[in-house]
Structure 1
Amino acid sequence: MLRKRLLPLLLITLLALLQYRLWFGKHSIPDLWELEAQIAAQVQQNANLTQRNDLLKADINDLKIGLEAIEERARNELGLIKQGETFYRILPAEQ
């Protein structure tokens, strides 16, 4: 009689311990969800950095190949004006 009750009780206890470990222990399901969220954030950050790197590589190639890109940068960033040119600055109308 004792044996008939002991085996199911032992199995239920073992199942409860395994469930506890699955949901609350080390390397549990909530830990997995957190790691998956971190991976998704890192993948997004890597994609952004890859896009930025591609733009920088294109800029570098433009600067290596043509003088037009260098001239454009000098005009925009340094205010370059060629000899014989007249510089006009058009300001937007105030509202």
Structure 2
Amino acid sequence: MRLLALVFAVLIIALQWPLWVGKGSWLRAWQLDHQLSEQRARNEKLKERNAALAAEVRDLKAGTDAIEERARNELGMIRQDEVFMQVLDHPVGAGSVPATANTAR
């Protein structure tokens, strides 16, 4: 009787093995589901990026505002009658003295 119970236990384990560890197991299905959700999140980010790029392309083709903004920001261009002023921020510390004060001494 004990041998029969042992044989049944081994048969049950043998039948359950593919369900838990085999090629189409629950673990594999869970891993694939996790990979699928990660890929969907990546795809969503890429769709948003593509939409932004498409809007920028439409703006560049249709209007001059985007072209002017790029020329100003990326190339440092200004209009013909504009005056360009650059303000430099540097911290004023205890040891720093303005350049005009150094030359006056």
TM-score of the alignment, normalized to the shorter chain, above 0.5 = yes
**In the alignment, what sits opposite 1:89?**
86
> Quick one: which amino acid aligns to residue 46 of structure 2?
L
Deviations 1:52-88 (A, max 9, x none): 0000001001101111111011000001111111111
**Distance change (3 Å), C-alpha of 1:15 and 1:70:** same
Q: What number of residue pairs does the alignment pair up?
A: 92
Q: Which has the higher helix share?
A: 1
Q: CA RMSD for the aligned pairs?
A: 2.3
Could you tell me which of 47, 58, 63 is aligned with 1:66?
63
1:91 Cα deviation from its structure 2 partner = 3.3
Could you tell me which of 19, 23, 38 is aligned with 1:22?
19
1:78 aligns with 2:75: yes
**In the alignment, what sits opposite 2:31?**
34
**In the alignment, what sits opposite 2:49?**
52
The percentage of counterpart residues that share the same residue type is: 46
Unmatched tracts of structure 2, length 5 or more: 93-105
**Structure 1 residue ranges (4+ consecutive) displaced by more than 4 angstroms after TM superposition:** 4-13
